[in-house]
C-alpha cells in the first residue's frame, strides 16, 4: 500500500512539472462564454482568428545548495504590502478624497458664512442708525437685513453639515466598511 502511495505522488509531481511550459488556447463564443483547451484542433474554425495563446510559466529553479557560498545569506526581496481596502474595495485614496471634499466644503461654507454674517450685522447697524429716517428707508433696510440673515443661516447650516460629515458620519462609515480610521482624518 505504501508503494502505491509513493508511485501516485511521483506521478502527480511528474504531471505537474509537465504542465509547465505548455500552451493553452482561450476563446470567447458568441454567447460570451470563455473556453480553454490545450489542443488547438479543438478550437472551432470560426474562433481560430480570435484565439489567445497563453504559455504556462516555468517552475522556479532552486539554487543548488552546493552553489551557494558558505555563510552567504540569501535575501528575498520584500514584496510590497498589498494596498488595504475597505469591504467595498475602496482604498485609502477614495476615503482621503472624500474627506478632502468635505473639508473644502467646510472651509468654503465658513468663509461665506463669515462674509454673510458681517454683511448682516453691518446692515443691522445701518438700520439702528436710521432711527430718524423715513419709514420707507427703514422697511427697505429691514428687508435687506432679513435676506442677509437668511443667507448667513443657510451658510451656517452648510458649515454644520460639513462638520458633522467630517467628525461623525465619515468616521462611522469608515468603521462600518472596515476602512482605516486614519484615512478620514484631515491633516
Nine-digit cell at 24?
Answer: 493553452
| For residue 19, pLDDT beyond 60 | no
Specify the pTM. 0.53
Interior CA angle at 11 toward 8 and 17, to 5°? 140
Of the candidates 121, 99, 105, the one whose C-alpha atom is nearest the C-alpha of residue 155 is 105
**Is the model's pLDDT at 147 over the cut of 60?**
yes
Q: Give dist(CA 132, CA 144) in Å, integer.
A: 18
**What is the model's pLDDT at position 72?**
59
Helix (H) or strand (E) holding 36: strand 34-37
pLDDT, tens digit (0-9, with 9 covering 90-100), for 39-86: 777 778 777 777 777 776 655 565 565 565 666 566 666 776 677 888
In the chain, the N- to C-terminal Cα span, in Å, equals: 67
For the chain, the structural domain boundaries read 22-58, 92-184
pLDDT at 66: 59
Distance between CA atoms of residues 118 and 112, nearest Å = 10
Check residue 13 and give its pLDDT: 62
Q: What is the pLDDT of residue 6?
A: 65
- Sign of the alpha-carbon dihedral angle for 147, 111, 163, 161: positive
* Mean pLDDT score of the chain: 80
Rounded-to-integer distance, Cα 37 and Cα 23, Å? 9
- Closest by CA to 95, choosing from 15, 175, 29, is 175
Burial of 99 (0-12, 13-18, 19+ CB in 10 A): buried
Position 1 scores a pLDDT of: 64
Amino acid at each position: 500500500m505504501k508503494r502505491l502511495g509513493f508511485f501516485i505522488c511521483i506521478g502527480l509531481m511528474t504531471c505537474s512539472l509537465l504542465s509547465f511550459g505548455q500552451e493553452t488556447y482561450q476563446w470567447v463564443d458568441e454567447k460570451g462564454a470563455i473556453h480553454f483547451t490545450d489542443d488547438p484542433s479543438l478550437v472551432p474554425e470560426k474562433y481560430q482568428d480570435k484565439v489567445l495563446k497563453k504559455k504556462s510559466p516555468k517552475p522556479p529553479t532552486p539554487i543548488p545548495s552546493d552553489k551557494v557560498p558558505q555563510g552567504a545569506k540569501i535575501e528575498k526581496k520584500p514584496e510590497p504590502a498589498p494596498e488595504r481596502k475597505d469591504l467595498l474595495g475602496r482604498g485609502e485614496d477614495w476615503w482621503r478624497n472624500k474627506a478632502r471634499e468635505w473639508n473644502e466644503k467646510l472651509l468654503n461654507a465658513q468663509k461665506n458664512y463669515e462674509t454673510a454674517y458681517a454683511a448682516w450685522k453691518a446692515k443691522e447697524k445701518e438700520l439702528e442708525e436710521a432711527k430718524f429716517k423715513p419709514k420707507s428707508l427703514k422697511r427697505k433696510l429691514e428687508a435687506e437685513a432679513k435676506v442677509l440673515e437668511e443667507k448667513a443661516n443657510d451658510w451656517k447650516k452648510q458649515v454644520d453639515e460639513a462638520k458633522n460629515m467630517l467628525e461623525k458620519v465619515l468616521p462611522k462609515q469608515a468603521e462600518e466598511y472596515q476602512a482605516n480610521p486614519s484615512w478620514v482624518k484631515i491633516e
